[in-house]
Structures are given as C-alpha cells and as structure tokens.
Chain A
Amino acid sequence: MTQKTKSSLRTSNLVNSIQPSGIRKFFDLASSMENIISLGVGEPDFITPWGVREACISSLERGYTSYTANAGMIELRIEIANYMKKQFQLEYDPKEQIIVTVGASEALDIALRSIVDPGDEVIVVEPTFVSYAPLVTLAGGNPVSVGTTAETNFRLTPRQLKEAITDRTKAIMLSFPNNPTGSTMSLNELKEIAKIVEEHDLIVLSDEIYAEMTYDGKHASIANIDEMKDRTVIISGFSKAFAMTGWRLGFVTGPSDIISAMLKIHQYSMMCASTMAQHAALEALQTGMEDVKKMVQSYKQRRNYFVKSFEEIGLPCHVPGGAFYAFPSIKNTGFTSEEFAEKLLLAERVAVVPGHVFGAGGEGHIRCSYATSLENLKEAVARIDRFLVSFR
C-alpha cells in the first residue's frame, strides 16, 4: 500500500468531500511575486487602536492570564449587550444570550453545528465569505446555494428565497453588508425576506461583522423585525469594526435555546476565547467608538474615490453600500474572473480575488478591497486602466 492511498483512507469522507478554499491558489501565486499592489486583503489596513493594545498589555502586566467563564468575561458580555442596544436597538441578556467566541468564524461553525441535523438543508446566500458552505457540510448539512446578481445589487430577492426552500430547509445564512460584494439590505427589503422565513419556520444566521461599515444610511439587522429576533442568531465580532483581525475575537447573540446549545460546543471545543483579547475588547467597547467612527469615515471616502475611479475607466461597478469591497463586473472583457485576475496580476502586478471563489453569482466579477492607502488605490486604478486598454 502506498503512502498516498493510506493517507487518503485516514481522513474522513466528510472532510474529503470539501474542497480547499479557491483563494489559496491565488495567494500562492501572489505571494511569489514582488512589488505587487494588493487589493486582495480582506481585513482593515488600520492597526488596532493604541488604547486597545495598551489595555491588553496592561492586563498581562496585572497577570490576567487564566481562563475566563466559558461564555466570556461577564463584564465584556454586559458591554456587548450595551453596544448591541445602543448601535442596533437590539436587547440581549448578557447571561443567556451572548457568547464571546474565537472570531466570528468559530461563531459560524458552532451556530451551524447547534442547529443542523444530518441531511438538513441550509440556504447559503452567495457570493459570500468562503467558509459558509464548507461549514454547513462539516456540520452534516447540505448547503443550498442561492446566487444573487448585479441586477439586484447583489441583494437577496423574496422570489429567489422561495424557490430555494424545500421540506428539508432548516436555516438561511445571510451576510449584509456583504463580503465580497459590499451590498447592504434595507429594513424594508429584509421584511420581505422575513415573511418567507417565518412562513417556513426557518432560523436565520445573520453574519453582521461589517455592520459598522455601512455608508449610506444606517445598518439594519433582520433581528430588528419583531417576529425575527427569536429566530435570528447574529454573528459579529471585533475584527473589522475595531481593526482587530489577528486577535480572533468574535461574539454571537441570539435566542437562549440556540445560544445555550452553542455554549455546549464552545465549552468542549474552545473552553473560552483568549483572555488577553477579551480585555482588549472590553477597552475597545468602552473607549474605542471614536476610533471606529474615524476609520469608517476613511473607508467611506475611499469607497467614493474607488467607485468613481472605476466609473472613469469604464469598469462597471454597483455602488457598494458597506464593508470595504468593490465588486466590479469584468464580463465584457470576455475572460472568466479567474483568467482576468491571473492576467492582471502577471501583467500589472495588481492582486484582486476572482469572484467565483465566493460561490454562485460571483463569476464575472472581481473583488477589490479598498482597505489600502489612497496612493495604492490610485496606482491600482491606473494599472487596471492600462490593463483594460491593452486588450480593448
């Protein structure tokens, strides 16, 4: 028996059934090149505010290095409850309805594992963050992808949702403001979705990690709709709003029964989120909101700049209402998004992420993150322009 056959037998059928992230291939190619301008980074270009970093250092100096409660420090959960109430008018009981998690990623994982039985279908609204469908599979469920399109500004329509629902549908995963499209959904649009969700008795997993980065109007959560709050799990965290990606600190809020099920998984698999990161997060909520405001204003200005510049060079792009991504269409170039991204990288050394890696509806688009300096954006637009002109 060769080593290769043996090792393929050693890993489970379930894990063998999922593919590694499509982003990997691009990462390897881009990493091997020098002097590239990267529009491929899915995280803030700000460093965590100094006050927050300093609070973490201070917690270490004072010796806070032991475990916290499984659900996270109660002080932090109380601050999270205050934050959710103040920012989004949503009330949660810090003792029973909030868990501090290891990034929003863990929250997504344990939320799915808490509600999915083998064979259950979970509707994944795409294009979206790369982990959703694989996490559904790993939880024993079947992901059902629904691809939104540029025609509806990448918003989910009630009709698309209705068509995807079957007797086995258990839940729907929403993510607005969206990575990679930057799309947002208004409260009225969410109300249309909510009617169908209620009619079919579904659970909503709403990833609102980009909620603070909403530029035109105010962020609306589907949980803001009365009948929805008891069937919605909100997944959020500190990574994007407070520029804390590397701290791996997220949180989840939702109805007590689902939260307590999630807590069971969390306590056995994680014990608790990192204590020093929790101390930093506490400081972030208590004193960091001014920093958030400044960072959000800066993203908005760069969004405006970026989208208008795309317009000028004739790259069709809907106006993204949130997050820090533009998702222009490259359909009229005749290339697939992967071809386009690869050629652009090799010819002009600009790294973008091909849209197809984000699932249905992503093909024909490229994700360009504007979480980089204005100088980089300027140079990137000039290079993309040159690239487009070269084969027109």
Chain B
Amino acid sequence: MEEKHREILQLLEENARIPVETLAKMVDLPVAEIEAIIKKLEEKKVIVGYSTVIDWSKIVETETVTATIDVKVTPKRGVGFDDVAERIYRFPEVRALYLMSGAYDLSVVIEGKTMNEVARFVSDKLSTIDSVISTTTHFQLKKYKHDGVVFSDGEGDHRIVITP
C-alpha cells in the first residue's frame, strides 16, 4: 500500500489536475479508494497544497521580478533559526524560504512587481529585523526550469509514425 501511496503522490506531483478516474486506472485501484487515499494524505498534510506552474513572463501585464536573497542571521538561544525564519516567511512577498548550510543561513525568494519594490522590501523589511546581519540580493534574469518543468517549448516527438 505504501508503494501505491508513493505512486499516487508522484503522479499528482507531476500533474495535480489528473482526473481520479485516470489515476484509478493507472495505479489499478478503485476510484473510491483513490479518493479516500488522497483525502487521508491531505489530512495528514503529506499533500500540503496544489499549485500551478505558470510562465508569467508570457503575460506582459503581470510580469514580475524575482530575487533570491542570501541572509546571514544570528540564531537565538532556544529557538535557533525558527523564530527569525517565521518573521520572514510571514511576509506575503516571500515565495520561498530555506535554511541553508554553507556561507549564509537563510535563502529567501522574493517576488515583486518591480526591482524597486524588491529592493525596498530588502532594505525596509528584511535588513531591519534584529537578527539579520547581512543580505546579498540576486535578481533572476530568466527562468529556464522551475519545479522540474522546463519553460521552453519542447522539440516534440521525433519518432517516425510506424516502426516494427
């Protein structure tokens, strides 16, 4: 059963909109059972949410800028990095936040409408947090691949139509 759960999760991770009927056929379980499994995985927060991968650069009016910011912080006694992390991820501008090993501590992904907006966020909100020692901002120039999805149009099927 564990194996079936993993299979369902992998298929959903690839395409969250796959119909349950299709899933049921693919993993060879009844539809009702698939629905029950998904519900359970949602309740257990194994499935945390469903989102869509969008190439916003193709929608001119909604073009955004994204930056990754390396943040060095002083961890606090008792709560370590969690406390400062929480202070940062509560901002809706923060799209992602990771604790890192290496030269800095937190990797913050910020999305804004303009470079100015992102810059202001860094100077006004992020750097002013007590534990933050320093920030280094890297603006993304082009998205080639995101969450396993390549953003360019593929080359299509090169195979000839009928082969033995």
Contact = CB atoms under 8 A, between A and B. Distances in A.
A318 to B, nearest CB: 16
Interface stretch (A11-19, A20-28, A141-149, A332-340): A20-28
Contact of B163 (A40, A301, A378): A40
B119 to A, nearest CB: 37
A353 B25 contact: no
B51 interface: no
Contact of A30 (B7, B11, B162): B162
Interface stretch (B33-41, B62-70, B153-161): B153-161
B162 A38 contact: yes
A353 B11 contact: no
A231 to B, nearest CB: 28
Given A45-B157, A297-B7, A301-B7, A40 B25 contact: no
> How many B residues are at the interface, by size bracket?
10 to 19
A309 B22 CA distance: 9
A93 interface: no
Interface in B134-164: 157, 159-164
A23 B162 contact: yes
The SS class assigned to the B binding surface is loop
A23 B164 contact: yes
A305 B157 CA distance: 21
B26 A305 contact: yes
Contacts of B163: 23, 27, 40-43
Contacts of A31: 160-162
Nearest to B10: A297
B86 interface: no
Interface in A296-327: 297, 301-302, 304-305, 308-309
Contacts of A40: 161-163
Contact of A304 (B27, B159, B161): B27
B61 interface: no
A36 B22 CA distance: 23
A39 to B, nearest CB: 9
A129 interface: yes
B28 interface: yes
Nearest to B6: A297
Interface string B23-59: 0011110000000000000000000000000000000
B161 A351 contact: yes
21 contacts: A23-B163, A27-B163, A30-B162, A31-B160, A38-B159, A38-B162, A40-B161, A41-B160, A45-B157, A129-B164, A297-B7, A301-B7, A301-B27, A302-B26, A304-B25, A304-B27, A305-B22, A309-B25, A353-B162, A353-B164, A374-B22
Interface of B: 7, 11, 22, 25-28, 157, 159-164
Which 8 pairs show the lowest CB-CB distances between chains A and B? Answer: A40-B162, A301-B26, A305-B25, A27-B162, A308-B25, A38-B161, A42-B163, A130-B164
